[in-house]
Copies of this chain bind each other. A is one copy, B any other.
Amino acid sequence: MRDAIIEAVITGRLAPGDRVIEATLSRELGVSRGPVREAFRELAEQGLLVLAPHRGATVPLVTERDAYEIYSILTFTERLALRLVKEHLSGAMLGTFKEAVREMRAAAERGDAPGVAHADLAFNDALYAFAGHRRLARLWQGLKAQCYLLVREYAPRTYASLSAVVEHHATIVDLIEHAGWAELRRYLEANADRVDARLLELLGPADAAPREA
């Protein structure tokens, strides 16, 4: 149910801007409006749908500002998760991370942007699962959904330099394994500062422009 809608959003059957009506969709899916309604609320909560009462829900447009809002949170969650994981790191965890990086690198080498994105998500899924921080994991699940929208729209820019994405993750794995927390932290913060700085630029002009649910 929920996944059916998500799938429609992700695959692009639902493009940003077009209206989705509870009744229409419930007929299409062959269920009543109740479950559809619930799914709508959940998707809206995750930022995959914008509810506009009596005007139909729409798939949101992800602006560059939105992208940096997401990134600015992800840099933090990544940092905290890595810290927690690093503390009781096992061989199995390391293996999972390395495997994800391997896949990512293979995808990058054949210029397969969706493949890189997929491996990126897998890497993060593992990261937050291992971290053992329930609220952090939930937070990631929510942001992940928005990442789908993001890569769909900004694949060219976000994954402009596929090798840069790969190297970022490779560096992280290397630092987890061989370096101390202080060093890993320095690396992550340099990254975060870059993101935050860009966010500040984007936030300046249109400071109070509400749109979301």
Interface residues of A, Cβ cutoff 8 Å to B: 34, 37-38, 41-42, 45, 47, 69-70, 72-73, 76, 80, 83-84, 87-88, 132-136, 138-139, 196, 199-200, 203-204, 207-208, 210-212
B196 pairs with A88, CB closer than 8 A:
no
Tell me if A's interface is mostly helix, strand, loop or mixed: helix
A73 with B196: CB separation less than 8 A: no
Q: How far is the CA of A17 from the CA of B156 in the complex (A)?
A: 50
Residue of B nearest to A196 (CB): B83
- Structural contact, B196 and A69, CB atoms closer than 8 A: no
Whole-angstrom CA separation of A166 from B132 in the bound complex: 32
With a cutoff of 8 Å between Cβ atoms, the chain B residues found around residue A204 in the complex are 87-88
Verify A80–B69 contact, CB threshold 8 A: no
The docked-state distance in angstroms from the alpha carbon of A133 to that of B76 is: 15
On whether the beta carbons of A132 and B207 are closer than 8 Å, the reply is: yes
